[in-house]
């Protein structure tokens, strides 16, 4: 296979793996927290911005952080507000900007959600390990635990039941 074909094959493999992981995350988050992936990612983006010292984040920062358009981000913000996960207010620095802040409920959801994300990813990685997926990709997905996860990839009966 030439270099171009190899690159395309690897890219296609990565895309398929990403879709499977994203679908697993979506199922787990929806079932356990009643949230969609974009909602949870928005909360994480806001939390990471605050931890990075940005304080409150602007709507534009959130749109860039989650990769959505301004209009899609506005709808997302409305959903998060309706659920009591964020508050918004007009910026005192720039009255045209909206600042977004996480609520205590959102911080609780983030604490619950991180293990759910990990569980969803590990579920798919176990399945991929059983399907002879590229070991470098699996190692990357697993981080430092890559070799042990790959070596211990076993069929998971509870996964098959879903």
Residue 89 has pLDDT above 80, yes or no: yes
Instruction: Give the model confidence (pLDDT) of 106-119 as tens digits.
Output: 999 999 999 999 89
Task: Report DSSP letters for 69-94, one per residue.
Answer: -HHHHHHHHHHHHHTTSEEEEE-SS-
**Which of the four pLDDT bands, split at 50, 70 and 90, describes residue 145?**
low
Q: Mean pLDDT throughout 13-39?
A: 92
Strand partners, 102: 86
The rounded percent of the chain whose pLDDT value lies above 90 is: 36
82 versus 55: which is more confidently predicted? 82
Helix (H, G, I), strand (E, B) or coil at 134: coil
Side-chain half-sphere CA neighbours of 160 within 13 A? 5
Confidence of residue 100 (pLDDT cuts 50, 70, 90): confident
Largest CA distance in the chain: 58
**Beta bridge partner(s), residue 54:** none
Pairwise CA distance, residues 122 & 119, whole Å: 5
pLDDT digits (tens, 9 = 90+) for 34-56: 999 999 999 999 998 765 555 56
Question: Is the pLDDT reported for residue 17 higher than 80?
Answer: yes
Q: Over the chain, what is the mean pLDDT?
A: 82
pLDDT of 147 higher than 60: no
For residue 161, the model assigns a pLDDT of 36
Pairing of strands 98-102, 86-90: antiparallel
């Amino acid at each position: 296979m030439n270099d171009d074909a190899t690159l395309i094959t690897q890219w296609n493999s990565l895309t398929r793996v990403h879709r499977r992981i994203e679908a697993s995350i979506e199922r787990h988050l929806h079932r356990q927290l009643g949230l969609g992936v974009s909602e949870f990612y928005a909360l994480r983006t806001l939390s990471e911005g605050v931890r990075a010292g940005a304080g409150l984040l602007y709507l534009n920062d959130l749109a860039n952080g989650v990769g959505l358009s301004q209009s899609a981000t506005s709808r997302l913000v409305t959903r998060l507000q309706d659920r009591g996960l964020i508050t918004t207010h007009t910026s005192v620095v720039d009255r045209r900007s909206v600042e977004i802040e996480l609520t205590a409920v959102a911080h609780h959801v983030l604490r619950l959600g991180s293990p759910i994300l990990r569980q969803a990813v590990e579920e798919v990685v176990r399945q991929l390990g059983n399907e002879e997926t590229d070991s470098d990709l699996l190692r990357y997905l697993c981080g430092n635990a890559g070799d042990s996860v790959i070596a211990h990839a076993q069929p998971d009966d509870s996964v098959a039941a879903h």
